[in-house]
Amino acid sequence: MTFDNWLPLSILLTSLIPGALIFMIPEERRGLRTSLNMGAAVLKLALVALMVWGVRHEHVYETRLPLAAGLQLVLAADALSVLLAALSSVLWFVTTLYAIAYLEHSPQSRSRFFGFFSLCVSSTLGIALAGNLITFLLFYEMLTLTTYPLVVHRGTPASMRAGKIYLAYTIGGGALFLLAVAWLTALTGPLDFTGGGVLRRFADPHAGELRVIFFLLIAGLGVKAALVPLHGWLPQAMVAPAPVSALLHAVAVVKAGAFGIVRVVYDVYGIQFAAELGVLRPLAVLAAVTIVYGSVRALFQDDLKKRLAYSTVSQVSYIALGAGILGPLATLGGMVHLVHQGLMKITLFFCAGNVAEGAGIHRISRMAGIGRRFPVTMAAFSLAAFGMIGVPPMAGFISKWFLAAGALAAGEGWVIGVLAASSALNAAYFLPILHTVWFKPPEGPPPAAGPTPRGRLEIGWMLLAPPAVTALLALTSGLLADAYLSPLWWTRLIVDREYLP
């Protein structure tokens, strides 16, 4: 075994081992826990950066461990897995910083929280690096179980109820997915993810079964990706603490589902083969319905986090929409939205958390004039909101642009209508917030809740830096879309490798 063989596993272990260790750290050893958390995050960032460099230069990183008879745990790095791995390690870093500050005064066990937090990130990285369906399934289930304690962290009746709903949905989805994977494995034997797909040679006698399995897979993944009508858990789960919501909506759970759909379409079935089976159009229609439905629901929420949650339902389906349209441009638009949506949505949740933590405000109707109280936070929020609407030069525009171009190239003109409707609805539920925040005079004395701002900053720097950084990343990934190593640039690399060979 060489270093290249060990790298994927080491990346996984950089959060798995600290996660296990954190459980054992006594509650009051704050410094030790923080340094372990941040140290692990930095180490993981460094390793992922190394992997990004390697994959760029066509290195092969692969860890194979035998699991059981005929089954292997495969962790491998291709361009697509690096996309999610890089996103999650960057966002994990900022979210850890944010969570440390956010939970400073939390009465609940912080060791439990950060332990599961690290395990949750390990699962996400496992999902990113999984080299075959079995490995993917393993980490997919692990993600369900590690996020549950985070969702119910507050321990209030509302969060316990949300946790139950969350478990019911995700375990149900996991069961469907397990069934589908088992069926497929029985049919074909174990298969590694391969660019261009591997199932074409089984098409002859099994085309019908493969169609059914495709929809079982999508249904299983669609629970986490919050495809309508399997999205019910997501708006409930927003009772979790802000850093958890941020992670859940940007990179962990929801993204795992979307990433799974991308894997199944491109690397298990192969998009060409999926198109021949006729399963792409239904996927695209499902995604389109979700996009519009989520936005319409978001319009009627006054609770900021709930509005953001419905917005996630809508936005994540852009990824599925991109996977549902044949052609490199649509693939580009959908895949790059994996990153773009993550950056924008995590910013929005950080900001919602800051407003809740700093001023005790949860409802949009009470946010009048808080731009003056939280200038940096709300500036970050505004940038991300414009990105969600798809206004250039924010990242969201780039995704929409390529989705539109791809849809037209594939002759699916109706998608333009969906994108237009989504933009209009996004504008309708984000712009009033921005108006309220910046242009309405504050109502009465600001509600006194939470810690008062120290020094000249509106809120502690550990709560302020994460949204500022992610908002800038969301801006630069749009503004510098054609620059070297931008998300778009990297996704082009994936698409080239996917379509050309």
Partner 1 sequence: MTELLGIAPQWLTAAAVGLPLLCAAALALPGRRRVPPQLVAWAALPAVMAAWLLPEGTTAVFGWLLLSARLGLDATGRIFLFFTSALWLLAGVYGTGYLKADRRRARFFFFYGLAMSGNLGVVLAQDMVGFYAFFALMSFAAYGLVVHTGDPEALRAGRIYLTLVVVGEIALFSGLALLAAAGSLAIGDLGAGAVPSVAMLLICAGFGIKAGALPLHVWLPLAHSAAPTPASAVLSGAMIKAGLLGWLRFVPIEAAVSASWGPWFVAAGAAAAFYAVAAGCTQSHPKTVLAYSSISQMGLITIGVGISLFSPAAAAAGLPAVALYALHHGFAKGALFLAVGLLQNAAPGTRASRLAWAGLLLAALSLAGAPLTGGAVAKGALKAAVALAPQGWAAALFMLLPLASVATTVLMGRLAYLMAGRAPGCGRPGAGMWIAWLMMLAPAALLAYAAPADEALSWAAIGAAAWPLAAGGALAGLAWAAGRSSRRIVSAQVPAGDVVVAYAALIRLAARAAAAVANSLSGWVPRVRLPQRLRRQSAAMAAAAESALGSWQVSGLLFLIVVVGVFLQALCAG
Distance (Å, whole) CA 262 – CA 419: 20
465 contributes a contact to partner 1 by CB under 8 A: no
Instruction: Show the DSSP H helices in 152-228 as ranges.
Output: 157-188, 203-225
Residue 290 has which token pair? 């979700």
Site size with partner 1, rule: CB under 8 A: 84
How many beta carbons lie within 10 A of that of residue 377, not counting itself? Answer: 27
Query: Residue from 45, 182, 207, 462 that binds partner 1 (CB under 8 A)?
Result: 182
Composition of the chain by helix, strand, coil, percent to 5: 75, 5, 20
**Exposed/middle/buried for 283, CB within 10 Å: 0-12, 13-18, 19+?**
buried
| 8 Å CB contact between 400 and 419 | yes
448 contributes a contact to partner 1 by CB under 8 A: no
Cβ closer to partner 1: 19 or 334? 19
185 contributes a contact to partner 1 by CB under 8 A: yes
Residues with Cβ within 8 Å of 114's Cβ and at least 6 positions away in sequence, in order, are 19, 22, 33, 37, 96, 99
Query: Residue from 43, 45, 164, 450 that binds partner 1 (CB under 8 A)?
Result: 164
Residue 424 C-beta: closest distance to partner 1, Å: 6
462 contributes a contact to partner 1 by CB under 8 A: no
Query: Residue from 23, 202, 215, 499 that binds partner 1 (CB under 8 A)?
Result: 23
401 contributes a contact to partner 1 by CB under 8 A: yes
Residue 186 C-beta: closest distance to partner 1, Å: 5
Residue 167 C-beta: closest distance to partner 1, Å: 5
| 8 Å CB contact between 63 and 81 | no
Task: Scan for tokens 């709560």, then name that residue.
Answer: 463
459 contributes a contact to partner 1 by CB under 8 A: no
207 contributes a contact to partner 1 by CB under 8 A: no
Residue 452 C-beta: closest distance to partner 1, Å: 18
| 8 Å CB contact between 438 and 66 | no
Helix, strand or coil for residue 65?
Answer: strand
Residue 357 C-beta: closest distance to partner 1, Å: 20
172 contributes a contact to partner 1 by CB under 8 A: yes
Residue 179 C-beta: closest distance to partner 1, Å: 9
Query: Residue from 65, 203, 449, 483 that binds partner 1 (CB under 8 A)?
Result: 483
273 contributes a contact to partner 1 by CB under 8 A: no
Site string for partner 1, 371-400 (x = CB under 8 A): ----x---x------x--xxxxx---xx-x
**DSSP secondary structure code for residue 67 in this structure:** E
Residues 131-160 that bind partner 1 (CB under 8 A): 134, 137-138, 141-142, 145-146, 148-149, 152, 160
Q: Which one of the spans 67-75, 263-271, 310-318, 338-346 is the region binding partner 1 (CB under 8 A)?
A: 67-75
| 8 Å CB contact between 63 and 6 | yes
Q: Which one of the spans 253-261, 297-305, 306-314, 446-454 is the region binding partner 1 (CB under 8 A)?
A: 297-305
Residues 209-268 that bind partner 1 (CB under 8 A): 228-230, 232
3-state secondary structure 349-404: HHHHHHHHHHHCCCEHHHCCCCCCCCHHHHHHHHHHHHHHHCCCCCHHHHHHHHHH
Cβ closer to partner 1: 193 or 430? 430
